[in-house]
Amino acid sequence: MKNIFNVLLIALLCSAMASYAQINPWLIKADKIDLQNYYGISIANGIIGVTSAPEPFKVKSTVLAGAYDSYGRGRVSNFINSINLLNLSFSVNGQNVSEKNIQRFNQELNMKKGSFHSSFDFGTKASVSYTYYALRHLPYSVMLDVTVTAHEDLEISAAGIMESPDALREVQNYYSEINRSHVKAGLLSSTAKSPTGKINIAASSTFIFEEPKASQPEMSHASYDHNRHSMRFNKKLKGGSTYRFSLAGTLLSSSHHPDPLNEAERLTLFAKLEGRERLLMKHHQAWDELWESDIILEGDDQAQQDIHSMMYHLYSFSREGSEYSLSPMGLSGLGYNGHVFWDTDIWMMPPLLLLRPELAKPMLNYRFNRLEAAKKNAFEHGYKGAMYPWESADSGMEETPVWALSGPFEHHITGCVAFAAWNYYCVTRDQEWLKEKGWPMIAATADFWTSRVERNGPGKYDIKNVVAADEWAENVDNNAFTNAVAKSNLEIAVKAAALLNLIANPEWSLVARNIPILQFPDGVTKEHASYAGEPIKQADVNLLAYPLKVVTAPDQIRRDLNYYQGRVPAANTPAMTQAIFALLHARTGDAAQAAHYFNDAYLPNLNPPFRVIAETKGGTNPYFATGAGGVLQAVMMGFGGLDITDEGIKKLKSVMPVHWKKLTLKGIGPEKKQYIITLKEKGPF
């Protein structure tokens, strides 16, 4: 009996270890690649985003932050599908490698190292592995690193292919060689104009070899058509030997540098002479530094992996010092045209602000740099101050397609910008930034609301004719979230003025006191003046409890939760809504409901093979970074109880899912504090 027990115990332990191995906290693996059911993962460094493909040595797309032009999508500016510089043609003994003639093909995302790795066998002749990097320390540079193990004598041929998408104009292809006593470099380069000719785009790539110059392979150049060319080398390998080479490249535009072609080639040569080892060392150092701020969960291995994936995407889509903001789909593709919405200010920035404040700062500087455009927008609509556009791109003017009424009417974005600016100050205590950049935004947006309200008698300063945060409610009056964020904006302006010893506009306090928050007769907060219980697209009223904290009484929070969580349909709603429900249930003490909505916020939105999040349940438009930001707030501000207050980061009472053993929030805020949460209280607080 004892022996049987030991056998069973060993079997259980082996099973548990196997299960853990399958759910690695840092690696997301795809052992079976299905070309018909494949949603790529992104490798990005905050400027360049490269999305994976299901074929060997291929990438789906390359996106460059800050490069916008119009090419027929809604008559507004769009992210440009940029020059693809990392595809490789690879052959063994003259036979081209494809998904049809390889075995044991697998791919994996290493979130810890910021890399995307693939491997396969080419029959019995060779084993091949390769890894893509968007180099974290070099904003415009990427690298493909290849290792070939020959199982018999053979010859490989590798061609770096550069291809310009059809939408780009006036493509010019170049090939040149740099030859010095110590180095030889073939440079494959392309330039193109954006669809309207507004900007110039340039890319350059080169091979990096490990052997001395004299024994490095010779290069040959080939042109296929006007927008595609390559550089190729051949190499004979002995059986049992391993050969390694890299393809490094640079991509930038005239939005980033006045001379993009020459600079792309200079930066490519810089990467060449840095060499593979130094490039990887610095890349890994940069990612190690990012992960000093981490979320560590014990008790749910799958949730831990998913949380790391969400963090990885927000980290990889943002960059210190760039002064770019985040689009809902980050750098994963052309979703939402690469435009900037409230998704940044309310959903993606807060977790980054707590984890890595230096990554949140560029998003606010992006808004400051477009303050004058926001003032022009207010002027055009007959208002004072600054009115931020619902969709923003490069210029800061309104970029919403005309068919979407959110452009002229979704005004809550203006309050969201001010709210984010104040939160940045609250966390960093950077008074110099507040005075120089935060205050001008906060004051100008407060002035907007004093001109936006309609004074309809004592105590009744209405905000009429808006698209609500619940975007299914169009052209309604006194929307709960719009009114509440306007009040918050005005109150923030008063506080900021006092802090900076400046004179506040007396209208700010007066208007803030008189903006109504409507209620039903039973005390439930009413979404807008004509709301009668219709289905809602996303959280609106519930945002008054968090993040705005206009509603603070626990009974009121629960009353609003109970009412509105039943108004959200099962489909076609964005992931952030359920994340807010999870957060509020955690703060009000209902662990079971918090766990339910945490899972419901993203699990039905996942797509194979890398569990990438789509915007809606069953959706297929990943990666939805906005949803990741919402779920991370549920973890950090809900289960973790962290709260951004006027006095800085505070810890509130909260509950976690009952099967979670411990939650560690590491490297939080400028002081890099650590919070350990083990509380599992049940029932209402």
Beta-carbon contacts of 625 under 8 Å, excluding residues fewer than 6 positions away, are 313, 314, 317, 326, 327, 328, 329, 330, 332, 343, 348
Task: Write down the pLDDT at residue 685.
Answer: 53
Query: Does pLDDT of 631 surpass 90?
Result: yes
Task: Write down the pLDDT at residue 47.
Answer: 97
DSSP for residue 543 = G
Query: Does pLDDT of 19 surpass 80?
Result: no
Q: What is the mean pLDDT of residues 460-466?
A: 96
Q: What is the mean pLDDT of residues 359-376?
A: 98
Task: Write down the pLDDT at residue 104.
Answer: 96
Average model confidence (pLDDT) for the chain?
94
Query: Does pLDDT of 2 surpass 60?
Result: no
Tell me the two tokens of residue 585: 């249930």
Query: Does pLDDT of 14 surpass 90?
Result: no
Task: Write down the pLDDT at residue 680.
Answer: 52
Q: For residues 310 and 682, which has the higher predicted lDDT (pLDDT)?
A: 310
pLDDT of 227-274, one tens digit each?
999 999 999 999 999 999 999 999 999 999 999 999 999 999 999 999
Beta-carbon contacts of 68 under 8 Å, excluding residues fewer than 6 positions away, are 77, 78, 79, 80, 199, 255, 338, 393, 394
Confidence of residue 3 (pLDDT cuts 50, 70, 90): very low
Task: Write down the pLDDT at residue 225.
Answer: 83
Helix (H, G, I), strand (E, B) or coil at 408: helix
Between the CA of residue 240 and those of 166, 235, 237, 282, what are the distances in Å? 43, 15, 9, 31
Q: What is the mean pLDDT of residues 25-50?
A: 96
Tell me the two tokens of residue 297: 């969960």
Tell me the two tokens of residue 274: 């840095």
CA–CA separation, 113 and 288 (whole Å): 7
Residues carrying an active site annotation: 471, 615
Task: Write down the pLDDT at residue 612.
Answer: 97
Q: What is the mean pLDDT of residues 287-302?
A: 98
Task: Write down the pLDDT at residue 679.
Answer: 63
Task: Write down the pLDDT at residue 15.
Answer: 35
pLDDT of 405-429, one tens digit each?
999 999 999 999 999 999 999 999 9
Percent over 90 (pLDDT), the chain: 89
pLDDT of 113-140, one tens digit each?
999 999 999 999 999 999 999 999 999 9
Task: Write down the pLDDT at residue 354.
Answer: 98
Query: Does pLDDT of 1 surpass 60?
Result: no
pLDDT of 383-411, one tens digit each?
999 999 999 999 999 999 999 999 999 99
> The tokens 């072609």 sit on which residue?
261
pLDDT of 554-599, one tens digit each?
999 999 999 999 999 988 889 899 999 999 999 999 999 999 999 9
pLDDT of 133-166, one tens digit each?
999 999 999 999 999 999 999 999 999 999 999 9
Taking alpha carbons only, the member of 374, 375, 391, 399 closest to residue 340 is 391
